[in-house]
Structure 1
Amino acid sequence: MAKVLVADDSATAVALLQNAVSEAGHVSLVATNGDDAMRLAVAEKPALILLDVVMPKVDGFQVCRRLRKQPETASTPIVIVTSKDQETDKFWGIRQGANDYITKPFEPKALADLIRKHIG
């Protein structure tokens, strides 16, 4: 059982993401803004980060870029989970260091498959 950081400011999205993490057999940590996401990622060293883009304080693209520069999180898989569905958004997310990108609303099975892909 691995730790998965769920970073999203929507309570509904957090519940859906936690459900997918639990379904995949893992436990979740929750951050509701970019600052908390970065702090928890470094302190807790999760096996995977599920990261929204539109969050208070620091957006998910910035969080992703900053985590890639930290030795503790440089190789942690990051999946961006967002409502930003333009090809340019996806391109930018991958360019910032995300391993995968999935748009909301997502199929729970598709997200569970991504979780398994990155942490088994």
Structure 2
Amino acid sequence: MGTVLIVEDSLTDMQILIGCLQKGGISVIIAQTGEEAIATISRQKPDVILLDVVLPGCSGFEVCRELKGNADTNNIPIVLCSTKGGEMDKFWGMKQGASAYLTKPIDQEELVRTIKQFIKSSDS
């Protein structure tokens, strides 16, 4: 069905996201920092990246900008997720190249629907 890289520093949120996506039939790989995410992507390209905004080290916005600026990774859809749900946060996230922006707490059905939609469009 496709593979998602979850980049999330909260172990509780990570477990919820993993369970939710695996229940939806989606394979999951994980990273807990932006730097770890970039290293992981260089070894194994996911179909979609689910990226927390607030991370130790570089932020999700910085990771998104870096991936979108790289020819090897700029076509991977990035779904930002954050407790920061203001219009300015969403605007800024989309400006960095994100394909979607979900606010926490994550609506699990919406998450699976969003991820599957991006996996389908990357298959075509």
| TMscore range, shorter length | over 0.9
Letter in 1 for 2:19: N
Amino acid at match of 2:74: A
Give the share of equivalent positions with the same residue, in percent.
39
- TM superposition outliers: structure 1 runs of 4+ over 2 Å: none
Q: Is the 8 A contact 1:85 1:103 kept in 2?
A: yes
Q: Greater shift after overlay, 18-27 or 46-55?
A: 18-27
Q: CA deviation at 1:3?
A: 1.6
Q: Which residue of 2 aligns with 1:6?
A: 6
Structure 2 residue 91 is matched with structure 1 residue 118:
no
* Residues in 2 aligned to 1:103 and 1:42: alpha-carbon distance in whole angstroms: 27
Question: 1 CA distance for matches of 2:56 and 2:110?
Answer: 26
Secondary structure of residue in 1 paired with 2:97: coil
User: 2:73, 2:21 → 1: CA distance?
Assistant: 19
What is the count of residue pairs matched by the alignment? 120
The aligned counterpart of 2:33 is: 33
TM (normalized to structure 2)?
0.92
SS of the equivalent of 1:117 reads helix
Instruction: Give the TM-score of the pair, scaled to structure 1.
Output: 0.95
Counterpart of 1:111, as a letter, is L
**Post-superposition shift, 1:45?**
0.6
Q: Which amino acid is the alignment partner of residue 33 of structure 1? A: T
Match of 1:94 in 2: 94
Deviation at residue 75 of structure 1 after TM alignment: 0.5
- The C-alpha deviation readout for 1:23-63, integer Å capped at 9, x for no partner, is 22111111001100111122211000000000011100000
Q: Which runs of 5+ in 2 are unaligned?
A: none
| 1:105 paired to 2:117 | no
Gap runs ≥5 in structure 1: none
